[in-house]
Structure 1
Amino acid sequence: MPTSIDVIIPSFRLIPETLLPILKLQKPANATIRFYLIADNPDIVIDRSIQNLVDNQTVSLLINKQNMGASATRNRGIEAGHSYWILFLDDDIEVTPDILLTYAQAAEKYPDEIGFIGLVDMPPPPTSFAKAVDADGAMSIFSAARNYESYPWGATANIMIKRSVVGDVRFSSAYPKKGGGEEVDFFLRVRQLNGSKNYKCLPAAYVEHPWWKNGQTDYDRFYRYGIGNSHLGERISQYKWYDFLNTSETLLFSILAAIIALPINLLLSQYIAFFALATVGIEYIVNIVRVQRKTRKIKLVTAFNVMLLRNIYEFGILTGNLSRFRLAGIGERFNYLGNVTKSKIFRFNRYKIIKLILYTAIIISLLLF
């Protein structure tokens, strides 16, 4: 049975080198394809090579009157189209020529699925920072289609969803304009509307995503992701739970306690300051173990970068909650697998056990000496 697909591509830069291969993709015979290129830049000068493809039938170009951000721009694409399926693609990916054919065949073969998660690969990490991102698994959502048969949410870099299952759900403007958390929120809420059914993974629908800034250090991105994800427990509360304080939270309380204790008891304040310093050391040790398990090698520099990456992300969550005076967000964690579990507090893993052992040793040492 013939189907139809709206391809939604939000873009700020509208770079022809990456957009033209997408707009010129091979179209399957059994599907009607419509491209919606949404420019989130009112001052953009459209390159002639792109403008020549715009016919407002196969390719439509929408230009926002002001910079609206990732969420609102994708929402405009959703509202502009009317096809049976909605395919989200990033504007900077390198597509495989038959990706639309792959999605159309999947739609025909699995008509009862609510959506399909495509595979997003990144080149080998070119820098020490990129190696830390890879070792940490910070972008593991990109490879979900390779590792799972189905998954509860996907990256808008490459995912197709059935329009009828979306209902009134839209990407929320509560998240940062440049993105962070809105994808998790949108796809989990759509999933909830459809009996918590996961999206089918489709590794054959493959794209390659470049390293941002060629892999150069970019902690701001992950700090922003943290700020965005701080909204998740508040907006989708059934998936939140509480755990031991992470390093950022521990440091915050330690520094506040040391300041409060300083005029009262200098020695106590020094002990608390030492505990805060030890917290950083413990975090580093744990990340050495984490990287060793991932790479099978002791990599001290990579472990240090992973520690920075993880804690800047967690600091983003902390500051995101504090900026909204949401103290309930301290110690709050979110289940990205979309599982509602009976245990709402304290979950152990090997890394937490290592931390608890080291913290206990530090506290005992302070008490003895």
Structure 2
Amino acid sequence: MPFSIDVIIPSFRLNPENILPILNLQRPADATVRFYLVADNPQLKPDATIAQLVNGDTINLLINSHNIGASATRNRGIEAGNGDWILFLDDDIVVDPQLLLTYANAAEQHPNEVGFIGLVTMPPPATPFAKAVDANGSMGIFSAALHNEYYPWGASANIMIRRSALGNVRFSSTYPKTGGGEEVEFFFKIREQNSLSNYRCLPAAKAEHPWWKNGEADYTRFYRYGLGNSHLAQRNPAYRWYDFLNLPESVLIVAVAAFAIHFFWMPVAKYGLYFVLIALLAEYVTNIMRVKRKNKIIAPGVAFNVMRLRLVYEWGILRGNISRGRLAGFGERFSYDGNTSPGSFRLNRYKIVKLAIFAIAAIVVMLLG
């Protein structure tokens, strides 16, 4: 049975090197494909190679009158089309030539699926920062299709959903314009209104995503992710759980407590400093373990960058909650695996190691005075 696919590509740059291969993908014979390039840049002047392909039918160009952000830009693309399926692609990916054929074949074989999660790969990490991102698993959602048959959400860089499953769900404007958290909530909301049906993973639908800034250090991006993700547990309490405080949360509480107490007991500042040093040591040791488990080698330099990456991200979450006056955000976590009964205070090998380091260090401090 014939069907239609809307391909939505939000963009600020409309770089021809990435956009043209997508627009020139081979079309499936039994599906109507329409592209919606949604430019969130009112000053954009599209390259002639793209402009000449825009025909207002199979290839459409929408330029926002002002910068409205990632969520609203994708929503505009959703509203512009009426295809049976909606394929979200990033504007900087390198697509597999068979991408549309793969998605169309999956839609034909499984027409009742809520959607399909494609595979996004990244080049081998070549810089210290890229190696830290890889070792930390920060972009693990890109490879979700490779490790699961079904999953509760996917990266909007490469994912297709059934429009009838979408209903009235749209990307929320609560999240930062630059992105972070909005796609998790979007796909969770669709899942919720479809009896918690997860998305079928489709690793054959492949795309490669480049390293941002060629892998140069960019901790600001992950700080922004933290800011955005700080909204998730608050807005979606069914997936909320509480855990031991992370390092930024712990240090902030200790700093505030030490400041309040030092008026009455001066040595508290010294012990507060001990706490911070011990906490950093514990964090570093556990990140050495994480890198060893991922890469099978002991790499202290990579572990240090992984620690920085985690702390920046966690500080983003903490900063987001503080900015909204949310004390309930301390220790608050979100169940990204879609578990609505996540429990609380989970132990794992890394937490056990941290607790052991704290216990040993506390004994040493007491003995040395």
TM-score range, shorter chain: over 0.9
**Superposition deviation, residue 135 in structure 1:** 0.3
**Superposition deviation, residue 53 in structure 1:** 0.5
Q: Verify: 1:141 aligned to 2:145, yes or no.
A: no
User: Counterpart of 2:65 in structure 1: which amino acid?
Assistant: K
Match of 1:313 in 2: 313
Q: Is the CA contact 1:85–1:162 (under 8 Å) kept in the aligned structure 2?
A: yes
Q: Output the CA distance in 2 between the equivalents of 1:255 and 1:107.
A: 55
Q: Percent identity?
A: 61
Q: Output the CA distance in 1 between the equivalents of 2:11 and 2:104.
A: 24
Q: Is the CA contact 1:248–1:314 (under 8 Å) kept in the aligned structure 2?
A: yes
Q: Deviations over 1:78-118 (max 9, x none)?
A: 00000000000000000111100000000000111100000
User: Counterpart of 1:352 in structure 2: which amino acid?
Assistant: K
Q: Is the CA contact 1:102–1:205 (under 8 Å) kept in the aligned structure 2?
A: yes
SS at match of 1:266: coil
Q: What is the aligned residue count?
A: 368
Can you give the 5+ residue segments of structure 2 that lack an aligned partner in the other structure?
none
**Superposition deviation, residue 161 in structure 1:** 0.1
SS at match of 2:337: coil
Q: Is the CA contact 1:258–1:273 (under 8 Å) kept in the aligned structure 2?
A: no
Q: Output the CA distance in 2 between the equivalents of 1:102 and 1:227.
A: 35
Match of 1:280 in 2: 280
Q: Verify: 1:354 aligned to 2:353, yes or no.
A: yes
Q: Verify: 1:156 aligned to 2:149, yes or no.
A: no
Matches within 5 A, 1:207-286: 207-286=207-286
User: Counterpart of 1:80 in structure 2: which amino acid?
Assistant: A
Can you give the 5+ residue segments of structure 1 that lack an aligned partner in the other structure?
none
RMSD, aligned CA: 0.9
Matches within 5 A, 1:325-344: 325-341=325-341, 343=343
Match of 1:116 in 2: 116
Q: Output the CA distance in 1 between the equivalents of 2:146 and 2:265.
A: 56
SS at match of 1:196: coil
Q: Output the CA distance in 1 between the equivalents of 2:258 and 2:296.
A: 39
Q: Is the CA contact 1:275–1:362 (under 8 Å) kept in the aligned structure 2?
A: no
**Superposition deviation, residue 361 in structure 1:** 1.7
251-260 or 128-137: bigger deviation: 251-260
**Superposition deviation, residue 342 in structure 1:** 6.0
Q: Is the CA contact 2:8–2:89 (under 8 Å) kept in the aligned structure 1?
A: yes
Q: TM-score, normalised by structure 2?
A: 0.98
Matches within 5 A, 1:124-139: 124-139=124-139
User: Counterpart of 1:204 in structure 2: which amino acid?
Assistant: A
SS at match of 2:267: helix
Q: Is the CA contact 2:239–2:342 (under 8 Å) kept in the aligned structure 1?
A: no
**Superposition deviation, residue 262 in structure 1:** 2.2
**Compared CA separation, residues 294 and 97, structure 1 to 2 (3 A):** same
Match of 1:98 in 2: 98
SS at match of 2:61: strand
Match of 1:366 in 2: 365
**Superposition deviation, residue 45 in structure 1:** 1.0
Match of 1:322 in 2: 322
**Superposition deviation, residue 278 in structure 1:** 1.2
**Superposition deviation, residue 126 in structure 1:** 1.7
User: Counterpart of 1:55 in structure 2: which amino acid?
Assistant: N
User: Counterpart of 2:325 in structure 1: which amino acid?
Assistant: F
**Superposition deviation, residue 363 in structure 1:** 2.3
Q: Deviations over 1:246-266 (max 9, x none)?
A: 011011112112222222212
Q: Output the CA distance in 1 between the equivalents of 2:362 and 2:322.
A: 28
User: Counterpart of 1:361 in structure 2: which amino acid?
Assistant: I
Q: Output the CA distance in 1 between the equivalents of 2:168 and 2:342.
A: 30
SS at match of 2:173: coil
Q: Verify: 1:176 aligned to 2:176, yes or no.
A: yes
Q: Output the CA distance in 2 between the equivalents of 1:252 and 1:351.
A: 21
**Superposition deviation, residue 360 in structure 1:** 1.6
Q: Output the CA distance in 2 between the equivalents of 1:90 and 1:13.
A: 11
Q: Output the CA distance in 2 between the equivalents of 1:201 and 1:227.
A: 28
SS at match of 2:68: coil
Q: Is the CA contact 1:254–1:273 (under 8 Å) kept in the aligned structure 2?
A: no
Q: Verify: 1:82 aligned to 2:92, yes or no.
A: no
Q: Deviations over 1:128-162 (max 9, x none)?
A: 00000000000000000111111000001000000
Q: Output the CA distance in 2 between the equivalents of 1:342 and 1:204.
A: 31
